[in-house]
Amino acid sequence: IPLLHRASAMSRRPLSLYASPWTAPAWMKSNGDVRGKGTLKGQAGDKYHKTWANYFIKFLDEYAKHNVTFWAVTAQNEPLAALLTPPPFPTIAFTAVQQRDFVVHDLGPALARSPHRTRLIILDDQRIHLPHWAKAVLGNATAARYVAGVGVHWYLDSIVPASCSLEATHKLFPDHFLLYTEACSGFLTLR
């Protein structure tokens, strides 16, 4: 929080911060561990999903007490990478349909009821999952109303052309933004 205050004071314009969760508490996950390939217990609309959605609101509430607001949150960091990562990686696995249902029944309504004007970003994973992920989530009118945009990572960009992923998604859902939400240099050094 002190670093965010310093960065904000140094900026000529307000910062647009977004937050992305890595994992829910172990007691909410199917594998009973913050690490590994667990999903949220149960299904959208149940006590686990509603509680997890309320964690987002509590997070925003607590930061707001320190005059830090978030422009957006993502529904989950790398929801499909959970299936490929080693066991110590903290994450929650979601399919596109599971994320859609979580947005429709839990996270979308929780954000809408909250005093925060925070936007919601879906996917937050590799663009190789587009446009399928967007079709599954944004193809649902209720989910689409709650979602502002699609977050993508760049690690597997060489596998799928932008025209087949980003452009195709934009053509299908032009009212939802596409934003690179994660990248790093040197991840893949294949030549």
167 is catalytic: no
- Coil/strand/helix, residue 153: strand
DSSP 30-64: TTSSSBSS--BSS-TTSHHHHHHHHHHHHHHHHHH
Amino acid at 187: F
Dist. CA 103–CA 143, nearest whole Å: 6
User: Other CB atoms closer than 10 Å to residue 32's CB: what's the count?
Assistant: 11
182 is catalytic: yes
Q: Which of 39, 70, 78, 120 is catalytic?
A: 78
My answer on whether omega of the bond before 25 falls inside 30° of 0, hence cis, is: no
Q: Which of 18, 31, 55, 182 is catalytic?
A: 182
Dist. CA 92–CA 24, nearest whole Å: 7
CB-neighbour burial class of residue 150 (10 A; exposed 0-12, middle 13-18, buried 19+): buried
What stretches of the chain show up as alpha helix (H) in DSSP? 2-10, 47-64, 96-102, 108-113, 132-138, 141-146, 168-172
* Positions marked catalytic: 78, 182
